[in-house]
């Protein structure tokens, strides 16, 4: 197996790397363990300086990093630069807040002193995806490093240049050798790393299939895991919603990262009175979005990251149409080089169709019309996923009640698209995984919550 970067715009191979040998893999594990012994003893001030330096470097080379992302996975540079900036924000946030987040918590008991202390676990294995090749890594790495852990990163095989660049950024920022290593591994080698006694925690962002495999392997060796496995996010447009605002937010979300986002609006559930106006607004906004070369500053939607991903998406679209969905826009694989897919709108989506039950990873909007808000909530929850959800309504209090009490998801929004924020926990339930990243909850995932009592 090799890690191969292929330009999604042209289909041309850019760079290729072999996976590590068994000897190299053992060396990486040993370095991570050695580095942990010293890194875990550094002060929060020392760690913060390194993360602040990394943030400065990320911002200084934002355009160069965005170009690398575009070349390896097709993200438009106009989206790549904000992704890099968000990584810098996460570095700044945890550099500033980690010490307070991990401060000892004193509890009065019969003992002279009782408190909870948060200590790092040790080397942590991160298996990360290609769709946000910088952000997915930093949203885990920033808190994990500030907590005193070391990291072994197995990045997606189609973004090897991004993986190496991330390691170089942190090394240039002053992170000691062995604290963060990008390792090119096969799936079999990844299993061996999970089983290795040196590794104390595992985190994965990826498919449900991958999540189940990692959870099974890690569970057999009693390793802590955090899994973020994607979703089929419902967006509810209730009868009193602002149609234009709702359509704008839904399309912006659906086309984020060319539709290749776990928290993109996957199922647009609209109550019948607004169906016509909302559908027309969505179709028009999807039609206007410019699909093109990700290096072009005017491009809004780039190619899909891999050829097999485009084939899979098209099969889901045609499979849904074969079962009765109406294709109002797009739905045809374009001729020519690159793995482009047109902005597509499916209407009359119902149970039993791929567009209803599966995650569509691409610029395809699925519209589901329902009778009323009660039906909208029922359809929203009729899924095995539970990552994000949004509700649009003029009655903000009712929208908040629905988001808080009735939607089965880890991240719920009212009158806005679903998005992550370093200050708040991010994660899902059911097939979307478990555990949390970001916020204080994220930094607490890979620490030993140690109780200390002095008689």
Catalytic sites, residue numbers: 228, 262
Q: How many CB atoms lie within 10 A of CB 280?
A: 13
| Residue in the block written with tokens 């359509």 | 247
Q: Cα Rg for the chain, rounded, in angstroms?
A: 22
Q: How many CB atoms lie within 10 A of CB 406?
A: 18
Q: Give DSSP secondary structure letters for 113-161.
A: EEEEEEEE---EEEE--SSSTTHHHHHHHHHHHHTT--EEEE--TT-HH
Beta bridge partners of 367: 268
Q: Using alpha carbons only, what angle is made at residue 130 by residues 128 and 133, rounded to the nearest 5 degrees?
A: 80
Instruction: Specify the DSSP element, H or E, that contains 46.
Output: helix 44-60
User: Distance between CA atoms of 120 and 123, rounded to whole angstroms?
Assistant: 9
**What stretches of 197-268 show up as alpha helix (H) in DSSP?**
208-220, 243-254
Cβ pair 409, 263 in contact under 8 A: no
For residue 326, what is the DSSP state?
Answer: E
| Residue in the block written with tokens 């808000």 | 373
User: Distance between CA atoms of 4 and 11, rounded to whole angstroms?
Assistant: 12
What is the three-class DSSP state of 332? coil
| Residue in the block written with tokens 């999807």 | 286
CA dist 223 to 160, 256, 318, 396, 451, Å?
A: 26, 34, 41, 42, 20
Q: How far is CA 197 from the centre of its chain?
A: 28
CA dist 73 to 67, 263, 264, Å?
A: 10, 18, 17
Beta bridge partners of 117: 450
């Amino acid at each position: 197996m090799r890690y191969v970067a292929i330009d999604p715009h042209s289909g041309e191979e850019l760079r290729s790397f072999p996976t590590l040998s068994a000897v190299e893999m053992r060396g990486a594990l040993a370095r991570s363990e050695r580095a942990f012994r010293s890194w875990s003893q550094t002060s929060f001030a020392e760690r913060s300086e390194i993360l602040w330096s990394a943030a400065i470097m990320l911002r200084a080379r934002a355009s160069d990093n965005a170009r690398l992302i575009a070349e390896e996975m097709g993200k438009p540079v106009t989206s790549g630069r904000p992704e890099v900036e968000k990584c810098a924000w996460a570095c700044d946030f945890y550099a500033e807040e980690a010490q307070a987040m991990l401060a000892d918590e004193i509890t009065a008991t019969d003992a002279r002193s009782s408190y909870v202390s948060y200590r790092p676990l040790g080397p942590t294995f991160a298996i990360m995806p290609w769709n946000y090749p910088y952000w997915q890594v930093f949203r885990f790495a920033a808190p994990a490093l500030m907590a005193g852990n070391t990291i072994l990163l197995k990045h997606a095989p189609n973004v090897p240049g991004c993986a190496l660049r991330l390691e170089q950024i942190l090394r240039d920022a002053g992170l000691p050798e062995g604290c963060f290593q990008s390792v090119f591994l096969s799936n079999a080698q990844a299993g061996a790393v999970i089983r290795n006694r040196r590794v104390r925690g595992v985190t994965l962002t990826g498919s449900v299939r991958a999540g189940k495999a990692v959870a099974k392997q890690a569970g057999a060796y009693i390793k802590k895991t955090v899994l973020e496995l994607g979703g089929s996010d419902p967006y509810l447009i209730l009868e009193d919603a602002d149609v234009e605002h709702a359509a704008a937010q839904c399309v912006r979300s659906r086309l984020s990262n060319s539709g290749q986002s776990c928290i993109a609006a996957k199922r647009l559930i609209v109550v019948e009175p607004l169906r016509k106006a909302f559908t027309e607004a969505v179709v028009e906004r999807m039609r206007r979005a410019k699909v093109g070369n990700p290096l072009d500053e005017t491009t809004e939607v780039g190619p899909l990251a891999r050829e097999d991903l485009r084939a899979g998406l098209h099969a889901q679209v045609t499979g849904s149409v074969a079962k009765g969905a109406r294709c109002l826009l797009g739905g045809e694989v374009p001729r020519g080089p690159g793995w482009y897919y047109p902005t597509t709108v499916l209407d009359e989506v119902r149970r039993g169709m791929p567009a209803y039950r599966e995650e569509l990873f691409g610029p395809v909007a699925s519209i589901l019309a329902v009778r009323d808000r009660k039906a909208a909530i029922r359809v929203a929850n009729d899924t095995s996923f539970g990552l994000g959800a949004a509700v649009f309504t003029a009655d903000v209090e009712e929208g908040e009640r629905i988001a808080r009490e009735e939607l089965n998801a880890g991240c719920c929004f009212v009158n806005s698209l679903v998005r992550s924020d370093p200050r708040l926990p991010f994660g899902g339930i059911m097939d979307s995984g478990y555990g949390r990243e970001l916020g204080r909850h994220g930094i607490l995932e890979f620490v030993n919550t140690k109780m200390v009592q002095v008689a």
